[in-house]
Amino acid sequence: MKIVAAAALLHLCFSATAAVSGSGSTETALAAAPGDIALLPCYTVGNVTPSFTTWMKNGLEVAASLPPAGRRLAVQHDGSLAIREVMPGDEGSYLCSSTLPGNSTFQARVLLQVTGGPGNVSTSISPTTALSNGTLVAPRGSSVSFKCSVSSYPSQNLTWAFRGASSSNQSLAFTSESWLDFRIEDLQPSDQGVYICRAVNTVSLNTSTDRRQLLVYYVPDRHPDCMWASAQDPSRVQFSCSWLGAYPVPELRWGQGGGFQVTDSLSVTLNRSLLSDGETVRCTARHPLLGPGQEKSCSFTLNLPFPEGEPLVTALEATSVTLTCAEATSVPPANTTWRKGLQQDNVVAGSKYVLSEEGPILKLTILNISKDDEGVYFCRSENPLGVRELEVYLTVKTASSAYTGAIIGVFIAALIVGLAVIVAKNVYSSRHRICLGDGFGQMDEDRGDVLSLVESDDEQLFQDAVPRLPPITNGCHTTLVQIHRIPSSDYEDAETADLSPQQQEDTVQTEEPEDLVTF
């Protein structure tokens, strides 16, 4: 129970000044800590040495002059009582009675209190990690135990208090025992602050405190966001990376070479000479809560533009045509435009050109085509890596070339009709040898074989019908073969809408009236 410091040979604490009561007695209050040497004064009013002194405690004699050597309580030469090593239990009311020279007596009362501590409060907050300055750190969501202990004699009040951003001094726990623990489950940023354990000796009012700063670290679950922004100059690009919602502020880095910077959003501007096709650009985030190898990152792989589409387009004069170009692979996204001619003049939307965009597909519609529109068009795609172009050659056909196509169509149709006639004739001449059974008789009447003749120009679609045999009755006596065209409504809709009067004439020629061949 030796609490007093070794250097303090004599520790006297007068918590109340001596008060003279009457003519021949004083009362003094005195506090001593266990282990101290306490000196209880007796005759302090005069300068006379008492000839004999006895000390009583709570009515019992505890010491008298001329004691045997080596006792813990001893009356000193001047009548005071020395307690060599104060112990718990020494507290009480002491009365000294001194006989002064001349046989007068003197009495003095001393109230001794024994109080000890609190010593140094010992605290622990765990599990946490300590920074170099002693501040403790715990991650958000963790469970943390707070422990505090210290002992005082005869009793103490022990408290845990918290000072944070939102509370100036919040009391968290209280006890009169010598230890005080509590626990925070699911630690939150609002729990960040200073935790103070304070012990007060209820008698001496001596206090001891320990304060610990606790930081609550957290990181977002998400990865950083990688973004790009196009610069004024198409050969430059700004990459930005942000990772918001981490505490403390994370460190970000673009690429491998540069160092990390303490920031939650970082941008770099790169030019064409620093970028290459297929390169992966990565932003890495570092944070104290992420161990080595657990860094979070986002990235994208750079790709040159690659405009795709039909390189050869044919259109008929006075119609309109739509050129299409798909740009789906470029990273960062390309700026794609239509250009015309070898000078690559910008195509400007207006009464001649209609520009439209459907997702990755860019369309250029040229209205009322004339021979002047024939030539090369470019779908030009540029991103910070470079420029790629799709070359589209537009051929404009005049009405006469369409006419040639129609003639060929008619010729082939006539050839097929002729063939059908020959087949029909053969069938007829051998009718006594072959009798068509049920299978043939049930031939589906709605199904006609249609031959489509498609020119290189998509818009020019010629359809003609192959004559077919009508259903033959079971009796095999039919002698009539009918050959006729299938009227095609699709064909008429498609052709008549777009064609010039001259062309409509052409189609009329192909539209043969129902042929009736009678044998």
Ligand X SMILES: *[C@@H]1O[C@H](CO)[C@@H](O)[C@H](O)[C@H]1NC(C)=O
For 300-346, the three-class secondary structure string (H helix, E strand, C coil) is EECECCCCECCCEEEEECCCCEEEEEECCCCECCCEEEEEECCCCEE
Smallest separation, CB 213 to ligand X (Å): 5
**Nearest approach, Cβ of 131 to ligand X (angstroms)?**
5
- The dihedral built from the CA positions of residue 201, 206, 207 and 208, taken in this order, carries a sign that is negative
CA 258, distance to chain mean position in Å, is 23
Task: In angstroms, give the least distance from the CB of 205 to ligand X.
Answer: 6
CB-wise, 133 or 430, nearer to ligand X? 133
Tell me the closest approach of the beta carbon of residue 155 to ligand X, in angstroms. Answer: 8
Nearest to 481 by CA among 497, 495, 468: 468
Nearer to ligand X, 262 or 415 (CB): 262
Looking at this protein, which amino acid is placed at residue 64? A
Q: Is 44 exposed, middle or buried (0-12, 13-18, 19+ CB in 10 A)?
A: middle
State the minimum distance, in angstroms, from the CB of residue 27 to ligand X: 24
Phi, psi of 495, rounded to the nearest 5 degrees: -80, -45
How far apart are alpha carbons 350 and 384 in whole angstroms? 29
Rank residues 190 and 426 by Cβ distance to ligand X and give the closer one: 190
Nearer to ligand X, 205 or 497 (CB): 205
Give the pair of three-digit tokens for residue 118. Answer: 């609190």
**Min separation Cβ 347 and ligand X, Å:** 17
Of 271 and 398, CB closest to ligand X? 271
- 3-state class of 407 per DSSP? helix
The rounded Cα 431 to chain-centroid distance in angstroms is: 83
Kindly state the smallest distance separating residue 420's Cβ from ligand X, in Å: 43
Exposed / middle / buried, residue 491 (Cβ in 10 Å: 0-12, 13-18, 19+): buried
Q: For ligand X, which is the closer residue by CB, 217 or 491?
A: 217
Residue with Cβ nearer ligand X (86 or 200): 200
Instruction: Yes or no: say if 336 and 380 are a contact pair by the CB < 8 Å rule.
Output: yes
CB of 152 to ligand X, least distance (A): 10
Rounded Cα gap, residues 104 and 115, in angstroms? 35
| CB atoms closer than 10 angstroms to residue 317 | 18
In the complex, what is the shortest distance from the CB of residue 21 to ligand X, in angstroms, rounded to a whole number? 29
Q: Are 478 and 469 in contact (CB under 8 A)?
A: no
Smallest distance, ligand X to C-beta of residue 55, A: 31
Which CB, 213 or 303, lies closer to ligand X?
A: 213
CA dihedral 283, 288, 290, 295 (to 10 degrees): 20
> Which CB, 62 or 396, lies closer to ligand X?
396
Minimum CB–partner distance for residue 207 and ligand X (Å): 9
Residue that the structure tokens 């990690």 belong to: 129
Q: Find the helix or strand (DSSP H, E) in which 496 lies.
A: helix 489-498
Which residues bind to ligand X, rule: CB under 6 A? 131, 133, 135, 157, 200, 202, 205, 213, 271, 273-274, 368, 370
CB 135 → ligand X: shortest distance, Å?
A: 4
In whole angstroms, the minimum distance from the beta carbon of 493 to ligand X comes to 21
Paired strand residues for 129: 137
Nearer to ligand X, 24 or 248 (CB): 248
- From residue 447, how far is each of 121, 486, 493 by CA, in Å? 101, 10, 21
Given a contact cutoff of 8 angstroms between Cβ atoms, the answer to whether 346 and 337 are in contact is yes
Q: Which CB, 158 or 390, lies closer to ligand X?
A: 158
If we measure between CA atoms, which residue out of 456, 481, 302 comes closest to residue 394? 456
Residue 204 in tokens:
């001496």
CB 160 within 8 A of CB 147: no
Task: Pick between residue 19 and residue 249 the one whose CB is nearest to ligand X.
Answer: 249
Two structure tokens written together for 497: 């809408």
Nearer to ligand X, 270 or 390 (CB): 270
Residue 133: strand, helix, or coil = coil
Q: DSSP class of residue 420? A: H
